[in-house]
């Protein structure tokens, strides 16, 4: 079975190569972003890593992932937590409610019997902590 001038196997192999190429680009960009946002490295170390990753890309990215893969995951988690906190703050500000308003609302729900004392305490701890 052929597709024009290409054999089916050639099409599959080409799709595999394109997939690997895009994965490679994604890894390269992820490593470069992590190098620039690492607060635990100085400027010289960042410059050396960038030079290593640019001039020996395959080896540089693989060595970086082996040497600093754990820190890379930690940086991603910290960035996600910061983004989540910023989103919650924005929503709270956009809704116009303050922490005191939210506590008052929770106390009202507790007084009406909608939530229990334990649920009230958990929500209060979440708001204040």
pLDDT in tens, 40-68: 889 999 999 999 999 998 999 999 999 99
Cβ contacts of 36 within 8 Å, gap of 6 or more: 46
Mean per-residue pLDDT of the chain: 87
Q: Is residue 63 part of a domain?
A: yes
Asked whether residue 26 is domain-assigned, the answer is yes
In-domain check, residue 108: no
The per-residue pLDDT for 92 is 74
Q: Which domain holds residue 22?
A: 2-71
Question: Which run of H or of E encompasses 124?
Answer: helix 117-128
Spacing of C-alpha 80 from chain mean position:
5
- Domain membership of residue 126 (yes or no) is no
Residue 129 within a domain:
no
Quick: pLDDT tens for 85-108.
899 888 877 776 677 778 888 888
In a domain, 96, yes or no: no
- Locate 39 and state its tokens: 């607060």
User: Is 48 contained in some domain?
Assistant: yes
End-to-end alpha carbon distance in the chain: 65
Whether 95 maps to a domain, the answer reads no
Q: Is pLDDT of 32 > 90?
A: yes
Q: Number of folded domains in the chain?
A: 1
């Amino acid at each position: 079975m052929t597709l024009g001038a290409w054999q089916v196997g050639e099409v599959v192999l080409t799709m595999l190569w394109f997939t690997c190429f895009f994965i490679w680009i994604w890894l390269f960009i992820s490593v470069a972003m992590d190098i620039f946002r690492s607060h635990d490295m100085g400027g010289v170390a960042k410059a050396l890593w960038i030079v290593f990753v640019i001039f020996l890309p395959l080896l540089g990215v693989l060595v970086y992932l082996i040497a600093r893969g754990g820190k890379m995951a930690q940086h991603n988690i910290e960035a996600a937590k910061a983004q989540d906190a910023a989103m919650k703050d924005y929503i709270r500000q956009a809704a116009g409610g303050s922490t005191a308003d939210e506590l008052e609302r929770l106390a009202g729900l507790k007084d009406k019997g909608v939530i229990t004392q334990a649920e009230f305490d958990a929500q209060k701890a979440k708001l204040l902590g």
